[in-house]
Amino acid sequence: MPFWKPKKKKKAVHKAKPAKSLPKYEPKPFIPPEIPKIDISANQQKEPQKPAPKKASSSRADDKKYFIETFNKLVSERNRPWDIWKDFVLMTSCAFSNAVDKTHYDEREDRYLKAIAKYRKEEQALFPELLAEMTVALEKNPDQDFLGEVYMRMRLGSDELKQIFTPYNVCHFMALATMGNVAEQVEKSGFITVHDDCCGGGATLIAAANVARNDLEKAGFNFQNHILFSAQDIEETVALMCYIQLSLLGVAGFVKVGNSLTDPIRNGDSLENYWFTPMYFSDVWHTRRVVSQMMDILERSVKAMTIKDFDTKKVILEDQYKSDEYETMTLYFIAPKEWLEGLYPDAVHTEISVEYPLNCPKAYAATVMVSPTRDLGEDGYEDYDWSDLELSLSDIEALIGMAKS
């Protein structure tokens, strides 16, 4: 073969590799899923674990600080801090009161409108923010005197009245030391009353409310239905601070603005300076007031009043009224207030009425009643608590004779 012709290469023959043998499929037996066992022997259900209380975020760690920052946005050359605080407290109180107490609605609505009119529109929008800040703070921690502490921190206390509020931790200790077993008292009497006649911002009452709540809730009571709070202070702004905080805590009660030494809370008071919390108008407390009034009426009907050393010479005929409808004659007499024996300190005199049938002007047919009379100023006088009066037949005859002469 010539050298220039290369030899032909033999083609490589690739033999097919034998296929690998697959493992034989062997089906596994079916195993049903395991059913959890339920223990039906135990009748008691485990109480669900209460979630751990959420910690306040660091950005809202001091609610009082944020309240003061919002408050300071209102301060200007036109608006002094004290005036702003006074208006905020008044407007908040009027808003709470007017939601439930329609007796004083017109007067308090007028006071609200006069207060808010002092501020520009953008300033008016800050007052709801202040209320929200306060509400959130007391919702997170009701065991505090929020307004009182802010009041002292901002140094708004009156130097003239020497206002220095008792620290809340001291009030809490006092409540623990004096409240006793509240649940036992409620079991016995149905409800208890707590009174502070120099309430300030309400720290002592707030502490009492929290101590009583802890005690009553352990015994299965709703503390809102079993404690009635009453308070008084001579300075309106701090008295209304107390009213606001009691209202937000959801307790039943009232606050009177006035001097507790010369004008204390008492029966027959004019309600002009009273501020009632919304919870005071709940069905539970309304029913209690109705029952109490009925019991008072029954007691007065069973036990008539008597007057020692009754003397017709000290009595003046004031008026007489003839009723054609009932065919009766009623005589009204003015008598000394001393005959009331100090039961009604605000009385200016005693009023006595003698009523008898027109066809029988005799002592044995007459009904005699007595009432204290108070001075309402421009509105005149009011006889406000009538009760039966026991007089001898000769004294009644003498009174009837005064009208005839």
Give the pLDDT confidence of 178-189 residue by residue, as tens digits.
999 999 999 999
Per-residue pLDDT band for 303 (boundaries 50, 70, 90) equals low
pLDDT tops 80 at residue 304: no
Q: Is the Cβ–Cβ distance between 351 and 333 less than 8 Å?
A: yes
Q: How far is CA 18 from the centre of its chain?
A: 96
Same domain, 260 and 331: no
Candidates 150, 93, 88, 98; CA nearest to 124 is 88
pLDDT tops 80 at residue 58: no
Which of 258, 286, 314 finishes a domain?
Answer: 286
Whether 47 is in a domain gets the answer no
Same domain, 271 and 399: no
The token pair at 211 is 């101590």
Q: What is the pLDDT of residue 270?
A: 84
The pair phi, psi for residue 368, each rounded to 5°, is -115, 130
pTM score of the predicted model? 0.63
Q: What is the pLDDT of residue 325?
A: 86
Whether 34 is in a domain gets the answer no
Same domain, 340 and 246: no
How far is 107 from 114, CA to CA, in rounded Å?
Answer: 11
Same domain, 333 and 228: no
Quote the mean pLDDT of the chain: 85
Q: Is the Cβ–Cβ distance between 319 and 402 less than 8 Å?
A: no
Q: What is the pLDDT of residue 13?
A: 47
Mean pLDDT to the nearest integer, 132-156: 94
CA-to-CA separations, 179 to 126, 147, 173, 210, 215, in angstroms, rounded: 39, 24, 10, 11, 10
Q: Which of 157-166, 199-208, 270-279 has the lowest mean pLDDT?
A: 157-166
Q: What is the pLDDT of residue 342?
A: 83
Same domain, 240 and 375: no
Query: Which residue would you say has higher pLDDT here, 282 or 21?
Result: 282
pLDDT tops 50 at residue 11: no
Q: What is the pLDDT of residue 113?
A: 97
pLDDT tens for 224-263 read 999 999 999 999 999 999 999 999 999 999 999 999 998 8
> For tokens 């499929």, what's the residue?
25
Whether 355 is in a domain gets the answer yes
Q: Is the Cβ–Cβ distance between 201 and 148 less than 8 Å?
A: yes
Same domain, 154 and 80: yes
Q: What is the pLDDT of residue 194?
A: 96
The token pair at 141 is 């921690």
pLDDT tops 60 at residue 2: no
Whether 291 is in a domain gets the answer no
Per-residue pLDDT band for 305 (boundaries 50, 70, 90) equals confident
> For tokens 């674990």, what's the residue?
49
Q: What is the pLDDT of residue 352?
A: 95
pLDDT tops 90 at residue 193: yes
Same domain, 238 and 315: no
Q: Which of 10-24, 72-86, 173-187 has the lowest mean pLDDT?
A: 10-24
Q: What is the pLDDT of residue 404?
A: 84
Which of 232, 257, 286 finishes a domain?
Answer: 286
Whether 164 is in a domain gets the answer yes
Same domain, 334 and 271: no
Per-residue pLDDT band for 266 (boundaries 50, 70, 90) equals confident
Mean pLDDT to the nearest integer, 70-86: 94
pLDDT tops 70 at residue 1: no
**Domain membership of residue 347 as a residue range:** 306-404
Candidates 70, 86, 66, 69; CA nearest to 123 is 70
The pair phi, psi for residue 63, each rounded to 5°, is -65, -30
Whether 1 is in a domain gets the answer no
Same domain, 89 and 197: yes
Task: Name the β-bridge partners of 274.
Answer: 256
pLDDT tops 50 at residue 273: yes
Q: What is the pLDDT of residue 157?
A: 75
Q: What is the pLDDT of residue 55?
A: 47
Query: Which residue would you say has higher pLDDT here, 270 or 157?
Result: 270
pLDDT tops 60 at residue 96: yes
Whether 246 is in a domain gets the answer yes
How far is 376 from 18, CA to CA, in rounded Å?
Answer: 123
Mean pLDDT to the nearest integer, 9-35: 53
Whether 26 is in a domain gets the answer no
How many percent of the chain have pLDDT more than 90? 65
Same domain, 323 and 209: no
Structural domain count of the chain: 2
Q: What is the pLDDT of residue 33?
A: 58
Which of 226, 255, 286 finishes a domain?
Answer: 286
pLDDT tops 90 at residue 141: yes
Same domain, 239 and 319: no
pLDDT tens for 334-380 read 999 999 888 888 899 999 999 999 999 999 999 999 999 999 988 89
Q: What is the pLDDT of residue 285?
A: 94
Same domain, 228 and 126: yes
